[in-house]
Amino acid sequence: MATKRKKVKSDASASRAKESKDLFIGIDLGTNHTAISTSDGKKKSILSIVGTPRDAVASKFLKKERLYGDEALKHRVALNLFKPIESGLLKNQREDLDAARGLLEFVLNSVDVNRDVKKYAIIGVPSQASVLNKKIITEMAGGFFDGVMVASEPFCVAYNLEELEHSLIVDIGAGTTDLCRVHGTIPDPDDQISSNKAGDFIDKELVRLISDEYTNVRVTTEMAKKWKEQSSFVGEPEEEIVVDVPVDSSILKLSITREVKNASESIIPDIMSGISKLISTYDPDFQEDLRNNIWLAGGGSLIKNLDVVLEKELELIDGGSVKIAKDPVFGGAEGALKLAMDMPPEFWQTA
């Protein structure tokens, strides 16, 4: 028989942060955005992009040797661009590691982190990140903190939601969609599933579908990403989506409603497969609790009607309830921060 689901709350973290002179930090090191949240109440999110000038002219024009986030994207035609995080994982190449260090330092400076206090950080990573990639991240970040650990990104989301018993988190980022069932402990590998069909996959699909439908169009992934963020939906459209698209030397208005729908829905089969597997392999006494406590998080949770369509799909496997987490940008970073603040001091001594 299914038991009543409980919320597990943490009351000690806020008071500990006030009493401690140490600074606790939660970081979501994402493919598209890097978000940071600190125990002194600061938060920031920037694009996970680093740019270096292509030549001496660009260097003189830009007056900087490295640009980050929106500034790098704005001047991208004059830059060599680096996205050090790919499919949610830190690339293990020297130039990418250097870019990641610079990005992390830039983010820390953006929230004016006090260099004179001890700093302890938890960094969210994809649910099935390898031991090697976790080691690469901790070594890359180690120079900035007195203690640093990595944790499953969807688990961090669950920690922020205080949904730590019989919950299933579907965290849809840019590089990966991570599913994690949470049952009061640190998740095991069997509790987690990761798919590379996420935001970036939708962008590529949208470019392909538009290019297949219309000849002589010039659609970039940046254009597709903008249209996706403005208009992505699944199920039945509420209105026609019309955009300005370069065609030869002209700009034409084209309807891309069907293409946006199909691209957005391309991630649903993997999500449903993961949900089905995590429910079916869960303790039978608590499967009903799990299926009725599914949460969508990450930027992909903003796809219109996704919760409704997933609930309809769940009717094929005895139903379920899907809810949307309130903060798709900082949910993971906030959860990592709460987790860091809740860790006992001896945890950091062995970190």
Q: Where are the domains of the chain?
A: 12-160+330-349, 199-265
Torsion region of 22: left, alpha or beta (phi above 0 gives left; psi -120 to 50 gives alpha): beta
pLDDT tens sequence across 238-275: 999 999 988 877 888 999 999 999 999 999 999 999 99
Rounded Cα distance between 63 and 230, Å, is 33
Fold match flag (12-160+330-349 vs 199-265)? yes
Residue given tokens 């019309």 in the structure block: 242
Query: How large a percentage of the chain has pLDDT more than 70?
Result: 93
pLDDT band per the 50, 70, 90 thresholds, residue 19 = low
Predicted TM-score (pTM) of the model is 0.88
Instruction: Tell me what the mean pLDDT of segment 290-318 comes to.
Output: 96
Q: How far apart are CA 193 and CA 135, in angstroms?
A: 20
Q: Where is pLDDT greater, at 304 or 131?
A: 304
Convert 205-235 to b/e letters by CB count within 10 Å (16 or more is b): bbbebbeeebeebebeeebbbebbeebbbbe
Q: How far apart are CA 125 and CA 187, in angstroms?
A: 13
Indicate whether 14 pLDDT > 80. no
CA proximity to 100, closest of 69, 133, 138, 140: 140
DSSP for 107-174? HHHHTT--TTS-EEEEEEE-TT--HHHHHHHHHHHGGG-SEEEEEEHHHHHHHHHT--EEEEEEEE-S
- Collapsed DSSP state (helix, strand, coil) of residue 279: helix
Is 324's pLDDT higher than 70?
A: yes
Is the pLDDT reported for residue 70 higher than 90?
yes
pLDDT over 80 (residue 16): no
pLDDT at res. 293: 98
- Among residues 31, 26, 28, 65, the alpha carbon closest in space to that of 49 is found at 31
Superfamily of domain 12-160+330-349: ATPase, nucleotide binding domain (3.30.420.40)
**pLDDT at site 215:** 81
Query: CA 309 to CA 300: how far, in whole Å?
Result: 14
* Chain mean pLDDT for the chain: 90
List, as one string, the DSSP characters of 38-106.
ETTS-EEEEES-EEEESSHHHHHHH--S-EEHHHHHHTGGGEEEE--EETTEE--SHHHHHHHHHHHHH
Q: Give the residue-averaged pLDDT of 312-333.
A: 95
> Is residue 350 very low, low, confident or very high in pLDDT (cuts 50, 70, 90)?
low
Question: Which pLDDT score is estimated for 349?
Answer: 63
- Return the CATH fold of 199-265: Nucleotidyltransferase; domain 5 (3.30.420)
Q: What is the mean pLDDT of residues 132-159?
A: 92
* Structure confidence at residue 6 as a pLDDT band (50, 70, 90): very low
